[in-house]
Structure 1
Amino acid sequence: MTDTDGPPRLTRLTFHSPLSEERAERMVRRLAADAPSSVLDIGCGWGQFMMRVLDAAPGAKAVGVDINGEDLARGRREAAARGLGERVEFLERSARDTGLGPADLVLCMGSSQALGSTSEEALGALRGLVRDGGRVLLGEGFWERTPTAGELAGMWPGAAVSDHHSLADLLDLAVAAGFRPEWTETANRDEWEEFESGYQADAEVWLARNPGHPSAKETRERLDTHRGRWMTYRGVLGLAYLTLVPAQ
């Protein structure tokens, strides 16, 4: 892609979530220790984390599900380059379709909306997708503190306090859905800033170099809107990474 084609998309991101290399390595090592034979990634994007699990668990095969064809194509290219093409399948379909799972390991990293409109619905769906004795790794938003009305107005359209729970309430919901929380961790400020900066960086550099491009106005509005929202939820919205064990 050249500058005349329009801004490139997300080439600065390794993971499509606020996740450091160090945290990813620890989580992959912990999840692979159970030697899963099947992995299901809900909202997989280009499947970077899923492929790292396959590298660490050589007996496993994986299915990644997403509705973004561009991300899936990126994932297929990378899987082929890493010699994983025969062990991973990328499906462009809804995660609510039948025929998925159950799997030994289910990944849902910041994609619970693909399974339900609430955390409760998503957790219930995840319980049905994981085998007894398996694991779920859920990356889910939570409120670091209750946002004010002014803060909510500056976030995503229609943002409400009910969109997320506190971390304590989120863990209680996981237990109520039939899980026990094996491991609880949260994205830190550095991970958030690395993610949000990387999310915008490609397009910001392109815009600075191409102010007269036909799509410059739309790109500028999109970038400025997202940055304003990020600056509003920064320090208010958190992301929890919960390793969940299905209760039998």
Structure 2
Amino acid sequence: MERDLISRLAHADHPIAAPLGDAAVTALLERALPRGDEHLLDLGCGGGEWLLRALALVPGATAEGVDVSEAALDHARREAERRGLAERLTLHQTDAAGFVPGQPADVVFCVGATHAFGGLLQALAAARKVLAPGGRVVVGEGYWEREPSAAAVEVLGDLADLPTTVETITADGWVPLYGHLSTRHELDDYEWNWTGSLAARGLDQPDVLAIAAAHRDEWLRGYRDCFGFATLLLAPLS
């Protein structure tokens, strides 16, 4: 099964493709959109849930989303129509790393998608290029809560701890204005939804069940006890 279709099925019951609950998402959006007429851009938008919730919360906002997945963008379009938000949302199927918007964005989102740029600093560099003066960035990145096992590193790659992650961001010329550290409940809820949603839609498909089981095993035996996730609201230094 194609990777983007797996992701779409796995996020069916947790449309925010990151370990954040609804209250945390709303709090971040309220901080990021104080004016009410912002233009938003999500680099690696997936199913567009961050943008859809922002548009519902702030009726004066407009938004663009960029992703390479046709399945994810089709889902975003259907949801935008269903929620009456389609007129304020434009979607682009292209590589987010090279995307140039028609206008600078007041808020750039890149939550759980920094890998598409080659890492955190590369994602922030791309966001800076498309950010309007006085704009903000909402970025979500994993970190190690404690020393990872070799199995965890093999699955998730070379992450830093939280203080080092924040220091790396500030050294790159960004000021954290707000942040959310995913709770144990949010982290576990995300993984149970990912594996369970995929399995529920593939009970008659052994290959789909195998993918869900392999992910569940990587989580429970590999990174559950050492992985954390931070979502930060950032402003560039002038």
- The 5-angstrom pairing of residues 7-86 of structure 1 reads 9=9, 10-86=11-87
Match of 1:234 among 215, 224, 230: 224
2:101 maps to 1:111 = no
- Give secondary structure in 2 for the equivalent of 1:203: helix
Deviation of residue 149 (structure 1)? 2.8
Change (3 A) 1:57 1:205: closer
Change (3 A) 1:151 1:18: closer
User: Could you list the runs of 5+ residues in structure 2 that have no partner in the other structure?
Assistant: 1-5
Contact 1:124 1:177 in 2 (8 A): no
- The residue number in structure 1 matching 2:3 is none
- The residue number in structure 2 matching 1:187 is 182
Change (3 A) 1:203 1:37: closer
Contact 1:104 1:135 in 2 (8 A): yes
Q: Which AA in structure 2 matches 1:228?
A: D
- Give secondary structure in 1 for the equivalent of 2:27: helix
- The residue number in structure 2 matching 1:138 is 139
Identify which range, 76-85 or 98-107, moves more after superposition. Answer: 98-107
Aligned mates of 1:190, 1:150 — CA distance in 2: 22
Aligned mates of 1:243, 1:204 — CA distance in 2: 34
Deviation of residue 11 (structure 1)? 2.0
- The 5-angstrom pairing of residues 168-207 of structure 1 reads 168-207=163-202
Contact 2:69 2:93 in 1 (8 A): yes
Contact 1:46 1:72 in 2 (8 A): yes
Runs of 4+ in 1 over 3 A off after TM superposition: none
Aligned mates of 2:137, 2:37 — CA distance in 1: 11
Aligned mates of 1:103, 1:11 — CA distance in 2: 28
Identity of aligned residues (%): 31
Aligned mates of 2:108, 2:192 — CA distance in 1: 28
Change (3 A) 1:151 1:199: closer
Aligned mates of 2:99, 2:208 — CA distance in 1: 37
Indicate the RMSD between aligned Cα atoms, in angstroms: 2.0
2:220 maps to 1:225 = no
Greater gyration radius: 1
Contact 1:142 1:166 in 2 (8 A): yes
- Give secondary structure in 2 for the equivalent of 1:86: helix
- Give secondary structure in 2 for the equivalent of 1:172: helix
Deviations 1:32-74 (A, max 9, x none): 2133521000111111121111122222211001111111111
Aligned mates of 2:126, 2:15 — CA distance in 1: 27
User: Could you list the runs of 5+ residues in structure 1 that have no partner in the other structure?
Assistant: 1-5
- The residue number in structure 1 matching 2:237 is 247
- Give secondary structure in 2 for the equivalent of 1:63: strand
Contact 2:145 2:226 in 1 (8 A): yes
Contact 2:195 2:213 in 1 (8 A): no
Change (3 A) 1:236 1:56: same
Change (3 A) 1:149 1:175: same
